[in-house]
Amino acid sequence: MCRWMAWLGQPVLVDELLFKTQHGIVDQSLHSRMGAEPTNGDGFGLGWYGGGDGPALYHSVSPAWSDANLRELASHIESPLFFAHVRAAIGSPVQQTNCHPFRHRDWLFVHNGYLGGFHAVRRDLMLAIDADRFADVQGSTDTEVVFHLALTFGLQDDPIGALERTVGFIEATAERHGVPDAVQASFGVSDGSTLWAVRYATAGSARSLFASADVEAIKRLHPDNPRLQRLSPNDRLIVSEPFSDLPGLWHEVGEGSAVTVRRGGELEHQPFRSRQAAPAL
């Protein structure tokens, strides 16, 4: 049901975190341990900042583990801020327009989870999207609808608040349709300089989510791990599942909470609550 990761820190070759890490996101595409399914083989997406105007996207319908272009890009593209996402489609078509990250101008958005009863609520949710933006929805995923709702609810001004209102609106809509598990999610968002991540479920346990800890103490504990030694206090990782070769680095993001990572590595936690609001149409 998808796995994702995000990096904000010193510029690194994407490769370093995609293929050179043990149990990195590409390995998770084949052998996820904490996901709803072990296999996330229904396409892949990479979104990165750096070079040219705005973020770049690479979307592929191939599984991440077998995509030759992904290995090429990862080993030649350097970025201080990027998302990688492996998809498990649960029913919707495997096509590039259904691959994460989704983009609007400078903003990127990824999601692990689902909207309950999406077939039932899709129309009502799409009607709530800013009418000017409606025709921008190109694929058929719940995530793209969430993203455009969030933009409608003010994502670009107040990312966490807009997502709280989006989740509240989806829950109210789902309730009208008798759907109990409206939102199951970890979300990742960025505008190119700050990174936000949310962990939330309307019902039951939310999808797993981890942030990397402050690295200084960890470097002292593991003086012989060259990969940990390379990390600086400015670097932060947000991941659906810990990489196994960076032990001790991971703090679980609590259920119903959000984190904000700013340049310099600063990490803030805050509660995340669904909020009822009408879209600002």
Q: Looking at 37-45, 181-189, 233-241, 248-256, which segment touches a copy of itself (CB under 8 A)? A: 37-45
Residues 6 or more apart in contact with residue 99 via CB below 8 angstroms: 43, 44, 45, 59, 60, 61, 85, 87
Q: Please answer whether residues 199 and 272 qualify as being in contact, where contact means their C-beta atoms are separated by less than 8 angstroms.
A: yes
Q: Is 69 in the site for a copy of itself (CB under 8 A)?
A: yes
Provide the β-strand partners of residue 188. Answer: 110, 197
Q: Is 58 in the site for a copy of itself (CB under 8 A)?
A: yes
Q: Looking at 64-72, 161-169, 170-178, 239-247, which segment touches a copy of itself (CB under 8 A)? A: 64-72
Residue closer to a copy of itself by CB (options 34, 61) is 61
DSSP of 57-91, one letter per residue? EEEESS-GGG-HHHHHHHTT-EEEEEEEEE---TT
Q: Looking at 45-53, 108-116, 199-207, 249-257, which segment touches a copy of itself (CB under 8 A)? A: 45-53
Residues 129-158 that bind a copy of itself (CB under 8 A): 131, 134-135, 137-140
Exposure string over 115-147, b if 16+ CB within 10 A, otherwise e: bbbbeebeeebeebbeeeeeeebebebbbbbbb
Which residue ranges make up the site for a copy of itself (CB under 8 A)?
A: 13, 15, 30, 38-39, 41-42, 48, 50-53, 56-63, 66, 68-69, 72-73, 75-78, 89, 92-97, 118-120, 122-123, 126-127, 131, 134-135, 137-140
